[in-house]
Structure 1
Amino acid sequence: MSWILAVETSTEWCSVALGRAAADGALECFSRHEHTGARSSSRVLPAAAEVLAEAGIKLADCAAIAFGAGPGSFTGLRTACGVAQGLAFGAELPVIPVNVLMACAESARGAMPMPADVSVLVALDARMDEAYSACFQWKAGEWSMTGAMGVGAPEAIVRPDGEFWLVGNGAAVFGERLDVAAQASRVLPEAMPDARAMVAIGLRALARGETIDAAEAMPIYVRDKVAQTIAERAVVAAEKAEKLKAAQAAGGGAP
């Protein structure tokens, strides 16, 4: 019953969890999941110390350290990767990179029973008026990704074949622009990256021997460009203003 420490800072939440599989197969977990905004880097290490103290173990008692490798916030991914590497080097532990979009799918699976043969389409706000997306299937006790991860306009996300759930905050952020939301059998915008889900994924990876040396840990980027120029931001703001003006005109000038 090995312990795994997981850290996740790819969004505005700082999420840290320490967990292991209990004797009955359930997940025994201690966690901190806090909305920290840009302050994740100052909160993640204290949170890790808190869950270790709560479990009554030392970092060296863990079998591995999992981290949210991406996709996600450029700074957030570097924070999680750097923290995982630093802790792993100090305690001489291996690390387990966890796909952030897969963690969303795992959060959904943990929230409620999932019918067989249902795909999970993840759409996560990528800022810059775009969404990260990927599709997963749960079979034989493992997640597999069907197709490739992508980033782009929410209107460009293609629905998978058959019945599917839509998870991640994309539905809440983009509303009707995310066309696939109307075709999903269930929409779970609250199923977001969470270190508790990463513990579950990490334990399965550990059982398969899928760990890497801390020196090899790297974030997963699916976007080459991580920020807009001032001119590009001005164009986006102008387009939003025009859409708002059109909407107000259509509604008789109501604010």
Structure 2
Amino acid sequence: MSLVPGILGDSYRRQLRKVTPHPAIDTLLDKVVPISQEFHIQPLALDFSVGQLASKEPAYLDALKARFEQLHILPTVIVGTLVLHADRELSEPPLLEAIYNLKVAQRLGSPLALYYFTYGGRVTREGRIRLAVEQVSRLAKAAQEYGLIVTTENYDFFTSDDFLEIFTKIRHKNVGLHSDTGNWLLLGEDPLEATQKMAAYTYHAHVRDYILRDGVYVSVPIGQGLVPFKPVLEELRIISTKRERLVLAVEMDLDEGDEDSAVHSCVEYMVDWLAQQH
């Protein structure tokens, strides 16, 4: 069992939108390494996407992996976004790209391959579940060759019941969830109850908080919003006892404001909480 604090790279999404001559992964390392040093976190996990790398060439990936090891960074790689659409010309290319990116995740030393969903029109809930089962089955089968578990996130459509249906219909065992503590609110679910419900399938977590303002869920630093963090984090701790490693990656999704200070506050919260677990 190991609880590892981490940061989702997209917590800096507003800064990453700016065009620079450097690949996004370099910007992210410039952000997170000082945090790991300030709080004496070794290792610190970092979630990032293949699209944020400079290259997929083996030599580059091997050098980057060595850099991660030197900096005490544990990588968790996002391999792509699956398109749940009836038009195969739209859905097949993203799936094939995600399958290809599995070897990138494996080469960098990530035990998980994270993926997301986007949706096409005209497809009912039942249709989206069917398409998800088909596509994730193919992704999971390919991931078995690399010893990877594939996980998706609760966001704005599939409920916990939907995920249970999807995962139980997939015959492969290397499928699961990276549970987002705040996003259960977007789905109208209680974060603690949903976390408990999905425990058997949870292999990773994005730790974030929200307040509701003028019909919009607004991202706020951990502990300042609606998520009941003490019991939710305790549930994640219990889940970690059944995992070799469970990363708790903090996430901010600001529409405005200072991303750096917000992420810093989240990490400080997690460091204090983790210290209480010993």
TM-score (norm 1): 0.29
Larger radius of gyration: 1
Task: Select the structure that is richer in helix.
Answer: 2
Instruction: Give the structure with the higher percent strand.
Output: 1
TM-score after normalising by structure 2: 0.27
